[in-house]
Protein backbone atom coordinates (compact mmCIF):
# COMPACT_ATOMS: atom_id res chain seq x y z
CA UNK A 1 0.00 0.00 0.00
CA UNK A 2 1.34 3.45 -0.92
CA UNK A 3 2.25 6.02 1.71
CA UNK A 4 -0.57 8.29 0.52
CA UNK A 5 -3.18 5.55 0.83
CA UNK A 6 -1.83 4.56 4.25
CA UNK A 7 -2.11 8.20 5.35
CA UNK A 8 -5.76 8.32 4.25
CA UNK A 9 -6.54 5.10 6.13
CA UNK A 10 -4.80 6.41 9.24
CA UNK A 11 -6.61 9.78 9.08
CA UNK A 12 -9.97 8.00 8.73
CA UNK A 13 -9.23 5.75 11.70
CA UNK A 14 -8.10 8.70 13.83
CA UNK A 15 -11.32 10.55 12.96
CA UNK A 16 -13.46 7.50 13.78
CA UNK A 17 -14.59 7.19 10.16
CA UNK A 18 -14.85 3.53 9.13
CA UNK A 19 -13.83 3.21 5.48
CA UNK A 20 -12.79 0.50 3.08
CA UNK A 21 -10.28 1.72 0.53
CA UNK A 22 -10.78 0.12 -2.86
CA UNK A 23 -8.21 -0.07 -5.64
CA UNK A 24 -10.34 0.02 -8.75
CA UNK A 25 -7.72 -1.24 -11.20
CA UNK A 26 -8.53 1.56 -13.63
CA UNK A 27 -8.20 5.31 -13.31
CA UNK A 28 -10.66 7.25 -11.17
CA UNK A 29 -8.95 10.59 -11.90
CA UNK A 30 -12.07 12.16 -13.38
CA UNK A 31 -15.51 12.22 -11.79
CA UNK A 32 -16.99 10.38 -14.78
CA UNK A 33 -14.38 7.62 -14.55
CA UNK A 34 -14.90 7.33 -10.80
CA UNK A 35 -18.72 7.19 -11.10
CA UNK A 36 -18.47 4.37 -13.66
CA UNK A 37 -16.04 2.45 -11.46
CA UNK A 38 -18.06 3.00 -8.26
CA UNK A 39 -21.47 2.42 -9.85
CA UNK A 40 -22.94 5.67 -8.57
CA UNK A 41 -24.26 9.01 -9.78
CA UNK A 42 -21.60 11.45 -10.90
CA UNK A 43 -22.59 13.91 -8.14
CA UNK A 44 -21.84 11.25 -5.52
CA UNK A 45 -18.20 11.60 -6.51
CA UNK A 46 -16.41 14.13 -4.32
CA UNK A 47 -13.96 16.13 -6.39
CA UNK A 48 -11.05 17.37 -4.24
CA UNK A 49 -9.97 20.62 -5.89
CA UNK A 50 -6.87 22.45 -4.70
CA UNK A 51 -6.53 26.18 -5.29
CA UNK A 52 -3.87 28.63 -4.14
CA UNK A 53 -4.39 32.11 -2.77
CA UNK A 54 -3.10 34.68 -5.26
CA UNK A 55 -1.62 36.89 -2.56
CA UNK A 56 -0.69 34.35 0.14
CA UNK A 57 0.18 31.27 -1.93
CA UNK A 58 -1.72 29.28 0.72
CA UNK A 59 -3.47 26.11 -0.45
CA UNK A 60 -7.21 25.60 -0.09
CA UNK A 61 -9.12 22.34 -0.63
CA UNK A 62 -12.66 22.49 -1.99
CA UNK A 63 -14.88 19.39 -2.00
CA UNK A 64 -17.53 19.58 -4.71
CA UNK A 65 -19.95 17.14 -6.40
CA UNK A 66 -18.65 15.45 -9.54
CA UNK A 67 -20.65 17.34 -12.16
CA UNK A 68 -20.34 20.75 -10.55
CA UNK A 69 -17.70 23.45 -10.96
CA UNK A 70 -16.23 25.45 -8.13
CA UNK A 71 -17.41 29.06 -8.22
CA UNK A 72 -13.98 30.62 -7.83
CA UNK A 73 -15.46 34.05 -7.01
CA UNK A 74 -17.63 32.62 -4.19
CA UNK A 75 -14.72 30.56 -2.91
CA UNK A 76 -12.42 33.59 -2.97
CA UNK A 77 -14.89 35.63 -0.94
CA UNK A 78 -15.14 32.76 1.52
CA UNK A 79 -11.38 32.49 2.05
CA UNK A 80 -10.69 36.22 1.82
CA UNK A 81 -8.47 36.30 -1.27
CA UNK A 82 -8.53 35.68 -5.01
CA UNK A 83 -7.71 32.14 -6.09
CA UNK A 84 -5.79 30.40 -8.87
CA UNK A 85 -5.48 26.71 -9.65
CA UNK A 86 -2.62 25.37 -7.58
CA UNK A 87 0.55 24.22 -9.29
CA UNK A 88 0.65 20.37 -9.24
CA UNK A 89 4.20 20.44 -7.87
CA UNK A 90 3.12 22.66 -4.95
CA UNK A 91 0.16 20.37 -4.30
CA UNK A 92 2.44 17.33 -4.17
CA UNK A 93 5.06 19.05 -1.98
CA UNK A 94 2.60 20.54 0.51
CA UNK A 95 -0.11 17.88 0.71
CA UNK A 96 1.80 14.73 -0.23
CA UNK A 97 -0.89 13.89 -2.80
CA UNK A 98 -0.58 13.92 -6.58
CA UNK A 99 -3.33 15.48 -8.68
CA UNK A 100 -5.85 12.73 -9.42
CA UNK A 101 -5.47 11.15 -5.99
CA UNK A 102 -5.96 14.16 -3.68
CA UNK A 103 -8.01 12.97 -0.73
CA UNK A 104 -10.20 15.00 1.63
CA UNK A 105 -8.54 13.03 4.45
CA UNK A 106 -4.94 13.25 5.59
CA UNK A 107 -4.48 16.88 4.63
CA UNK A 108 -1.91 18.94 6.55
CA UNK A 109 -3.26 21.55 8.98
CA UNK A 110 -1.96 24.32 6.70
CA UNK A 111 -4.58 23.47 4.05
CA UNK A 112 -7.98 24.98 4.83
CA UNK A 113 -10.86 22.77 3.73
CA UNK A 114 -14.37 23.59 2.47
CA UNK A 115 -17.22 21.38 1.23
CA UNK A 116 -20.18 22.30 -0.91
CA UNK A 117 -23.52 21.90 0.83
CA UNK A 118 -25.04 19.91 -2.06
CA UNK A 119 -22.92 16.90 -1.06
CA UNK A 120 -25.17 16.55 1.99
CA UNK A 121 -28.16 15.43 -0.07
CA UNK A 122 -26.69 11.97 -0.63
CA UNK A 123 -26.65 8.99 1.70
CA UNK A 124 -23.20 8.01 0.45
CA UNK A 125 -20.43 9.70 -1.49
CA UNK A 126 -17.13 8.46 -2.91
CA UNK A 127 -13.80 10.23 -2.51
CA UNK A 128 -10.21 9.75 -3.60
CA UNK A 129 -8.03 7.74 -1.26
CA UNK A 130 -4.55 8.92 -2.18
CA UNK A 131 -3.94 7.32 -5.58
CA UNK A 132 -5.37 7.65 -9.11
CA UNK A 133 -7.29 4.39 -8.72
CA UNK A 134 -8.07 4.38 -4.99
CA UNK A 135 -11.44 5.43 -3.57
CA UNK A 136 -13.60 5.03 -0.49
CA UNK A 137 -17.26 5.54 0.32
CA UNK A 138 -18.61 7.47 3.29
CA UNK A 139 -21.70 9.22 4.57
CA UNK A 140 -21.15 12.87 3.54
CA UNK A 141 -21.60 14.52 6.96
CA UNK A 142 -19.16 12.05 8.50
CA UNK A 143 -16.67 12.58 5.68
CA UNK A 144 -16.89 16.37 5.93
CA UNK A 145 -16.42 16.20 9.71
CA UNK A 146 -13.46 13.82 9.37
CA UNK A 147 -11.92 16.12 6.76
CA UNK A 148 -12.37 19.16 9.01
CA UNK A 149 -14.15 20.99 6.20
CA UNK A 150 -16.50 23.94 6.54
CA UNK A 151 -19.81 23.56 4.68
CA UNK A 152 -20.79 26.37 2.35
CA UNK A 153 -22.32 27.19 -1.04
CA UNK A 154 -19.23 27.11 -3.26
CA UNK A 155 -20.40 25.76 -6.64
CA UNK A 156 -21.50 27.62 -9.75
Residues 33-78: tens digit of each pLDDT: 889 989 999 999 999 999 999 999 999 999 999 999 999 999 999 9
141/70 Cα distance (integer angstroms) = 19
C-alpha dihedral sign at 85, 132, 135, 104: negative
Answer yes or no: is pLDDT of 10 > 70: yes
Q: Give the CATH number for residue 139.
A: 3.90.960.10
pTM for the full predicted model:
0.96
Do 74 and 127 form a contact (C-beta atoms < 8 A)?
Answer: no
The number of folded domains in the chain is: 1
Do 137 and 45 form a contact (C-beta atoms < 8 A)?
Answer: no
pLDDT (0 to 100) of residue 57: 97
Beta-bridge mates of residue 51: 60, 85
Residues spanned by the domain of 71: 3-152
Q: Which of 102, 111, 107 lies closest to 45 in space, CA to CA? A: 102
Answer yes or no: is pLDDT of 86 > 80: yes
Amino acid sequence: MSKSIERVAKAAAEAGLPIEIRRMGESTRTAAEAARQCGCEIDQIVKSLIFAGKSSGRLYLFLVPGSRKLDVAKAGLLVGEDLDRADPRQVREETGFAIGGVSPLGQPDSVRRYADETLLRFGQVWAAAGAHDAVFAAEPRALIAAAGAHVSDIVA
